[in-house]
Amino acid sequence: MPNLVDISDLHFSYGARPILAGLEMEFPRGKVVAVMGGSGSGKTTILRLIGGQITAQKGTVRFDGRIVNARDSALMYDMRRKMGMLFQHGALFTDLTVFENVAFPLREHTRLPEELIRDLVLLKLHAVGLRNAAHLKPAEISGGMARRVALARAIALDPQLIMYDEPFAGLDPISMGVAANLIRRLNDALGSTSIVVSHDVHETFLIADYVYFLSQGRIVAHGTPQQMRASEDPYVKQFVHAEADGPVPFHYPGRALADDLMRGVPQ
């Protein structure tokens, strides 16, 4: 099977509020696929559906040929051993050292001896350039370093799938470039499939093989980064080129300014 993850006719809503509608997405093995779009377009919800944290009202999500079923805890436990997740703000355990943070999934999901866990953790930290920071706490390292520790933890079990939720948020340009290069290099070295949810067009386009653009819970465009840069779709053009005018309005919808000035203070 060429795809590690397949999403078919997916619909999801929170109560009466629709979030995703009719999604059709493919995530081929060994590729870096970006999911982009404005805030509230449903990007992170897709990651949660793949990880089985929530369940769609309609449609299917398949991982490695099997349907993701959040209600089957044994199935999900087995699937999640093959998934790595880099959370938006790292989500490191603040009371544990860098070493203990990376060791956590190995101790949780395996019965490896401590000597082997030690070697594996040091190798993962070395891969992200932080082997010599193993003894430090998260509060003692920079935000960019903490993100790299979180990445080392995400790849601790050599997962088939690595999901990144806004991996570049809050990083300086140097840390952003380091993080982007790591995502690409680790994906290729591990033979993994990576899903990158991001707003950062420049860094994401440098490392992605394919891009999906979401707007209001629907896919409005998809293709290679080169195709997206050349796209004439109004939403894609506005997003890629950071234009103020376009399908996504600058002003919150409502009455015209002149009406409000005539009425006095808005209610």
Q: Please report which confidence band the pLDDT of residue 265 belongs to, taking 50, 70 and 90 as the band edges.
A: low
Angle between helices 114-127 and 173-190 (to 10 degrees): 130
* Residue 208, pLDDT score: 94
- CB neighbourhood size of 242 (10 A): 7
Long-range CB pairs of 74-77 (<8 Å, 24+ gap) are 76/52
Q: How far apart (Å, rounded) are the C-alpha atoms in residues 218 and 212?
A: 10
Q: How far apart (Å, rounded) are the C-alpha atoms in residues 6 and 160?
A: 14
Q: Please report which confidence band the pLDDT of residue 140 belongs to, taking 50, 70 and 90 as the band edges.
A: very high
92 close to 101: Cβ distance less than 8 angstroms: yes
**Among the listed residues 23, 30, 31, the one whose alpha carbon sits nearest the alpha carbon of residue 50:** 23
CATH architecture of 30-54+72-249: 3-Layer(aba) Sandwich (3.40)
What is the bridge-based pairing of β-strands 66-67 and 58-63?
antiparallel
Return the DSSP state at 16.
Answer: T
Q: What does pTM read for this prediction?
A: 0.83
pLDDT tens, residue by residue, 152-210? 898 888 899 999 998 887 777 887 888 888 889 889 988 899 999 988 888 899 999 99
* Residue 24, pLDDT score: 93
- List the chain domain ranges: 30-54+72-249
42 close to 138: Cβ distance less than 8 angstroms: no
pLDDT tens, residue by residue, 201-239? 888 999 999 999 888 888 988 999 998 888 887 777 777
Q: Please report which confidence band the pLDDT of residue 43 belongs to, taking 50, 70 and 90 as the band edges.
A: confident
135 pLDDT higher than 50: yes
